[in-house]
Amino acid sequence: MIKFSIVIPILNESKNIKKLAYLIKKELHKKFKYEIIFIDDNSKDGSDIILKEQSKKNKNIKFIIRINKQPDLSKSCLIGIKKAKYKYIVIMDGDLQHNPSDIPKLINFLHKENLDIVIGSRNFSKVYEKKSLNFLRYYASIFIKKILIFFLGYKTNDPLSGFFCFKKKIIYKKKLFGKGYKILSDIIYSSKNLKMKDLEIKFNHRIRGESKMNLRILILILYFIFFNFIKSFKF
């Protein structure tokens, strides 16, 4: 039986936590051995109360709260990865835009193909992807994707994906940027010779809560690109 840890960074997702935990259990129960690690970026909407309730109901659920810290998705993910007890890691968002039914597809593909990382890749050319994202996020994602690939090279069709699985060992001793919004880009552009493949997924429309995309996040992503582009030169 494949064993893996699901790391879910959240910020003000109190309306989605319970449903997400239920859907994950529904998809994975009796099929896999797993744990769920929620990393809460000090939410102000009562997420902590719901996390406590869910962890009591489901022994597979754990949570960590980053108190008095600047919200940072990458840092939250790295904390979760460090705490994970299994050698396979799944990263996904806590806003229900990633479908838990895709988790078995990702993890089985990783295991079957003996890959280092499998990326839940969005196809931005399809109509449902345009509908799943608001105007700003859709076009910002396409723009940043093209900038990433232009300066840092092509490694995946969706370097901004927040839904992927990988072998935990691939980030050991890696010098990661370690902050910002997209931990996937940090991992794949800080590593060489990774065996990776895309697996196309359908991105769900956000029903509850608000998108975390803002100007600060866009600036951090652009700074990350600049950081890695400069690092690629050997003086």
Alpha helices by DSSP H, the chain: 17-28, 47-57, 73-83, 103-113, 127-132, 135-152, 183-189, 215-231
What is the reported pLDDT for 235? 46
pLDDT digits (tens, 9 = 90+) for 81-134: 999 999 999 999 999 999 999 999 999 999 999 999 999 998 877 645 555 566
**Cα gap 63→54, rounded to integer Å:** 10
Where do the structural domains in the chain lie, given as residue ranges?
A: 3-231
Instruction: Give the pLDDT mean for 31-44.
Output: 96
Q: What is the mean pLDDT of the chain?
A: 88
What is the reported pLDDT for 26? 96
Q: Is 186 helix (H, G, I), strand (E, B) or coil?
A: helix
Q: Is 168 helix (H, G, I), strand (E, B) or coil?
A: helix
Higher-pLDDT residue of 175 and 53 is: 53
What's 3-231's CATH class? Answer: alpha beta
- Cβ atoms < 10 Å from Cβ of 106: 24
Closest by CA to 199, choosing from 83, 72, 104, is 104
What is the reported pLDDT for 66? 94
pTM reported for the whole predicted model? 0.89
